[in-house]
């Protein structure tokens, strides 16, 4: 059953990402990575694809001599392959209970939308032969369709847990893409993100929120309850709270944006009543580096 759900989610994500050109991760940012991928670096180096023959010069590794080529002439040639490398995209979707929230204004819950977006991005990355993995999971970074399926399955079956990822050491030059509502106290968010971004990992934050969370559309006497806790609050006249609340919500968002800016990550907002393709375009641009950071900041 869950497998079928994972397949369905995967398919939907594939459909969504199929509308975009293959995702290309900036090559020069990851030039030094040791992991060999299939992106030709237009220069010789470790790789599997033939790049050029070159006359042997002193100091070259003898094992690199191509004897077939050398036999056809008097000189000795060395066979050089093209240098190939791949990036790793670390995805994170908030497993918090709060992500199950879906108001009357939205058609899907926040978590559902976040998973869909994550998988769509993953699908794009796999198509571009990027390695994809889930932050905090034991999935090895991989770039195959079965891996994508496993990823989808892990996303669906992930138990509700801590709202933010624990400090984890990621390989240098990885890219982290985090989907969540980021409604936690800004201090906790700063701590969590700071630890991830510590060794130069690039990152993108997408705040997925429900329209009701932004606007507080309720009227009259409403008892607000915590999603996974005992806290309640009874508002006598909800409409009178609306302006203050909206200001508060904007303040929270500004503070999160501030945190991401400080660690050099990007920040985007997605509302569940919007079309998912729009944010996917934006992410594609962000991760593919088609836009400058300044542009990113302006776009969102």
Partner 1 sequence: MLQGLSFLTPWALAGLAALPVIWWLLRFTPPKPQHVRFPPLRLLLELVPREEQPDKTPWWLLLLRLALAALLILAVAHPLLSPRDAARLAGNPLLIVVDDSWAAAKDWDTRLAVLQDLAASAQQAGVPVAVAATSPSARPGDLAPQAAHDALSRLTALTPRALQPDRLGLLERLKTTFTDNSGLTVVWLSDGLDHGSAAAFARGLLALNGGQADLEVISGPSTAIPLALAAPEIEGGRMKIAALRTPSSEDTKVVARALAGNGRSLAETTLALRPGSQRAEGFIDLPLELRNEVERVELTNERSAAAIYLLDDRWRRKTVSLMAGSTLESAQPLLSPLYYVSRALEPYTEISEPKQASDLKNELDAGLSVLALADIGVLPQDEQDMIQGWVERGGLLLRFAGPRMAAAQDPLIPVTLREGGRALGSALSWETPQALQPFAETSPFAGLTLDTAVVVNRQVLAEPAADLTPKVWASLADGTPLVTAEQRGKGLIVLFHVTANADWSNLPLSGMFVEMLRRILDLAPSAGSGANAGTQVATSQAAFTPRRVLTGTGDFADPSPDAEPIAAADIDTAKPSPTHPAGLYNRGGLERAINLTLAQDDLKPMGALPGGAQLRGMERAPAIPLAPYLFGLAAALFLLDCIAALWLAGSWQRLKTRRAGAAIVILLVLGAAAAPDMARAQDAASDQFALSNTLQTRLAYVETGDAQVDETSRQGLAGLGNILVERTSVEPGEPVAVNLERDEIVFFPLIYWPILPDAQAPSPAALAKLNTYIKNGGTIFFDTREDGADLNSLMGEVSGATLALRRVVEKLDIPPLEPVPPDHVLTKAFYLLQAFPGRYERGQLWVESGEGGTGSGNADGVTSVIIGANDYAAAWAQDTRGQPLYATMPGGDRQREFAYRTGVNIVMYALTGNYKADQVHVPALLERLGQ
Q: Return the structure tokens found at 13.
A: 């994500």
**Which residues make beta-bridge pairs with 27?**
none
Shortest spacing between CB 112 and partner 1, in angstroms: 14
**230 lies in the site for partner 1, by CB under 8 A:** no
Candidates 10-18, 62-70, 192-200, 248-256: pick the segment binding partner 1 (CB under 8 A).
Answer: 248-256
Give the C-alpha separation, 162 to 93, whole Å: 11
- Does position 233 bind partner 1 by CB under 8 A? yes
| Selected binder of partner 1 within 236, 292, 294, 298 (CB under 8 A) | 236
CA gap 210, 160 in Å, rounded: 19
The residues, ordered by sequence, that sit 6+ positions from 19 with a Cβ below 8 Å of its Cβ are 277, 280
Asked if residues 233 and 223 have their Cβ atoms less than 8 Å apart, the reply is yes
Q: Smallest distance from the beta carbon of 170 to partner 1, in angstroms?
A: 28
Identify the residue among 174, 207, 252, 272 touching partner 1 (CB under 8 A): 252
Q: Which residues are within 8 A (CB) of 136 and not within 5 positions of it... i.e. 6 or more apart?
A: 92, 165, 166, 168
234 binds partner 1 (CB under 8 A): yes
- Residue 281: what are its φ and ψ, rounded to 5°? -55, -45
Question: Site residues for partner 1, window 147-206 (CB under 8 A)?
Answer: 181, 183, 185
Least distance in Å: CB of 212 to partner 1?
8
Residue from 5, 31, 244, 275 binding partner 1 (CB under 8 A): 244
Instruction: Return the number of the residue (101 or 179) whose C-beta is nearest partner 1.
Output: 101
With CA atoms as reference, report the closest residue to 192 among 162, 160, 150, 233. 162
Among the listed ranges 12-20, 71-79, 191-199, 209-217, the one in contact with partner 1 (CB under 8 A) is 209-217
Span interacting with partner 1, options 40-48, 195-203, 214-222, 276-284, rule CB under 8 A: 214-222
Interface pick for partner 1 out of 13, 210, 266, 268 (rule CB under 8 A): 210
CB of 266 to partner 1, least distance (A): 23
Compute the half-sphere exposure of residue 153: CA atoms within 13 Å on the CB side of its CA.
13
C-alpha distances (whole Å) from 84 to each of 30, 48, 174, 266, 284 are 11, 8, 16, 27, 22
Length of the chain, in residues:
300
Q: Count residues contacting partner 1 (CB under 8 A)?
A: 31
What gap in Å lies between CA 181 and CA 210, rounded to an integer?
9
Footprint of partner 1 on this chain (CB under 8 A)?
98, 101, 110, 181, 183, 185, 210, 212-213, 218, 220-227, 231, 233-237, 240-241, 244-245, 248-249, 252
């Amino acid at each position: 059953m869950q497998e079928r759900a994972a397949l369905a989610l995967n398919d939907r994500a594939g459909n969504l990402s199929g509308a975009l050109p293959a995702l290309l991760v900036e090559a020069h940012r990851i030039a030094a990575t040791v992991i060999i991928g299939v992106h030709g670096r237009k220069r010789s180096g470790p790789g599997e694809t033939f790049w050029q023959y070159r006359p042997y010069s002193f100091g070259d590794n003898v094992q690199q001599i191509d004897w077939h080529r050398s036999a056809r002439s008097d000189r000795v040639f060395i066979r050089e392959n093209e240098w190939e490398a791949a990036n790793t995209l670390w995805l994170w979707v908030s497993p918090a209970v709060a992500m199950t929230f879906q108001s009357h204004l939205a058609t899907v819950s926040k978590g559902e939308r976040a998973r869909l977006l994550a998988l769509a991005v993953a699908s794009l990355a796999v198509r571009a032969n990027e390695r994809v993995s889930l932050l905090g999971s034991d999935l090895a970074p991989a770039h195959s369709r079965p891996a994508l399926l496993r990823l989808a399955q892990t996303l669906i079956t992930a138990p509700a847990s801590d709202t933010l990822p624990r400090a984890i050491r990621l390989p240098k030059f990885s890219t982290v893409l985090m989907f969540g509502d980021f409604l936690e106290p800004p201090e906790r968010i700063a701590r969590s993100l700071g630890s991830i971004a510590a060794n130069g990992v690039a990152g993108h934050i997408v705040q997925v929120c429900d329209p009701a969370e932004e606007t507080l559309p309720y009227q009259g006497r409403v008892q607000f309850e915590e999603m996974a806790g005992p806290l309640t609050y009874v508002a006598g006249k909800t409409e009178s709270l609306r302006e203050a609340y909206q200001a508060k919500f904007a303040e929270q968002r500004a503070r999160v944006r501030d945190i991401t800016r400080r660690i050099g990550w990007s920040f985007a907002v997605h509302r569940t009543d919007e079309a998912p393709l729009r944010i996917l375009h934006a992410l594609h641009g962000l991760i593919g580096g088609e836009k400058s950071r300044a542009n990113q900041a302006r776009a969102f």
